[in-house]
Structure 1
Amino acid sequence: MVPLTSEVRFDFDVITRWITRGERVLDLGCGDGALLSHLINAREVLGYGIEHDTERMVACIGRGLNVLQIDLEQGLAGFEDGQFDHVIMSLSLQAVHNTEGILDEMLRVGHEAVVSFPNFGYWRHRVSINEGHMPVSDSLPYQWYNTPNVRFFTMADFEQLCEQRGIRILERVAFDEDREITIDPNNYASVAIYRLGRA
């Protein structure tokens, strides 16, 4: 789940690079609207956010953003096919039960999708599990008993799901904190960002 923060995260630059000026963008699980606000300022996008949490919605409204309160588990039935150039889900996919359904919906209403998530295969997470504890880190900042995350998966798991669902991986960038990881990212990256399309 996207942290409630006004701080610009390292992944903003990657996502911004994939967005063309003036695009129509839908940000799912938009949190306090920091990413959407950044894209409006940097790329002059026509942006809409979807957020279920009331406090985060209020933060979005405070930024002057167009935001709707929708439960993503119910899909995106109110939106037309191809209505958006990009549908983004930044650091929220792991908090959704209906993973397959939301990926399908993102690529139904958007020409492309962008997703980022914490990589559960990250080596520090593996060390925590080997020591008998669920991992807590910058990318997984919650304790096991209060986490909003319902899915714990690796980059390899996600790529396998994409292959099974006929989802094409157009680009992938992986990071450990703010450092890009190109060698064995499934082990050494804490966060992964994907640009997706239909195969």
Structure 2
Amino acid sequence: MNALANPNILALRPDFRAIARWIEPNSTVLDLGCGDGSLLRVLQDELDVQAYGIEIRDEGVLACAQKGVHVIQQNLEGGLALFEDKSFDTVILSQTLQTIHNTAQVLRDTLRVGRECIVSFPNFGYWPHRLSVFRGRMPVSESLPYQWYNTPNVRVLTISDFEALAPKVGLRVIDRVVMHEGVTVSWGVNWRGSLAVYRVCAA
């Protein structure tokens, strides 16, 4: 069974399917905050891309190496200085945006380094998240699985927040998929969708 067809991977990260649809075969891809390298392994196996990742955690770097994924151990917010302009066809920020401190600068750098960028993030505007805050507690869900005291997330954002930020940092949205539990949401996306995936380029 190939990696893209593996139901366990797709169930864990439903944005993988949307991301793979936007990647050209035999292209060059950089995944920022690539984790254990699962997405890059999928793209290598299915689309024969030249894939590279940046990851800071030791266990993530080790897992990438075990999967045969090229990875650089580097702090994400300083890692893009290693690359020249337009070094990659696509740069991916897959559920990493909410963990970044200097969000605007990292987004600008992704489009300096890549011709296009794919960004996915959990939508804090999803209605159960709003309800949880209304009840006085920070939300915990499948898309936001951590407690407030142990979360790696340093930002919370909604779909509307991202779309307001994009033009300010020079991004133009090419395409968007909003989903919940792997099912595409086509209306009321900012309160019905728990996960957003964007394809963007320089404005």
Q: Answer yes or no: is 1:19 the counterpart of 2:39.
A: no
Match of 1:170 among 171, 174, 178: 174
Residue 10 of structure 1: how far off its partner (Å): 1.8
CA deviation vs aligned residue, 1:3-50 (integer Å, no higher than 9, x gap):
xxx723221111111011000000000000010000001110000010
Normalised to the residue count of structure 1, the TM-score between the two structures is 0.95
Q: Is the 8 A contact 1:75 1:101 kept in 2?
A: no
Unaligned runs of 5+ in 2: 1-7
Q: What's 1:100 paired with? A: 104
Which residue identity lines up with residue 9 of structure 2 in the other structure? E
CA deviation vs aligned residue, 1:167-189 (integer Å, no higher than 9, x gap):
10000000011110010111110
Q: Is the 8 A contact 1:25 1:87 kept in 2?
A: yes
CA deviation vs aligned residue, 1:125-158 (integer Å, no higher than 9, x gap):
0010011100000100000000000000100000
Q: Is the 8 A contact 1:81 1:110 kept in 2?
A: yes
Aligned partners of 1:34 and 1:46: how far apart in 2? 14
Aligned Cα root-mean-square deviation (Å): 0.9
Aligned partners of 2:79 and 2:31: how far apart in 1? 14
Q: What's 2:144 paired with? A: 140
Aligned partners of 2:29 and 2:77: how far apart in 1? 20
Q: Answer yes or no: is 1:197 the counterpart of 2:197.
A: no
User: Could you say which structure has the higher helix fraction?
Assistant: 2
Query: Does the residue aligned with 2:119 lie in a helix, a strand or coil?
Result: strand
- Percent identity (aligned): 52
Q: Is the 8 A contact 1:169 1:194 kept in 2?
A: yes
Aligned partners of 1:81 and 1:166: how far apart in 2? 15
Which residue identity lines up with residue 155 of structure 1 in the other structure? I
Q: What's 1:3 paired with? A: none
Query: Does the residue aligned with 2:80 lie in a helix, a strand or coil?
Result: coil
Q: Answer yes or no: is 1:38 the counterpart of 2:42.
A: yes
Query: Does the residue aligned with 1:82 lie in a helix, a strand or coil?
Result: coil
User: Structure 1 stretch 173-182 or stretch 69-78: which is displaced more?
Assistant: 69-78
Aligned partners of 2:77 and 2:84: how far apart in 1? 17
Correspondence list, 1:1-199, <5 A:
7-8=9-10, 9-199=13-203
Query: Does the residue aligned with 1:76 lie in a helix, a strand or coil?
Result: helix
Query: Does the residue aligned with 1:67 lie in a helix, a strand or coil?
Result: strand
Aligned partners of 2:71 and 2:35: how far apart in 1? 10
Normalised to the residue count of structure 2, the TM-score between the two structures is 0.94
How many residue pairs align between the two structures? Answer: 194
Residue 75 of structure 1: how far off its partner (Å): 4.5
- Deviating beyond 2 angstroms after TM superposition, the runs of 4 or more aligned structure 1 residues are 6-9
Query: Does the residue aligned with 1:7 lie in a helix, a strand or coil?
Result: helix
Aligned partners of 1:155 and 1:75: how far apart in 2? 26
Unaligned runs of 5+ in 1: 1-5
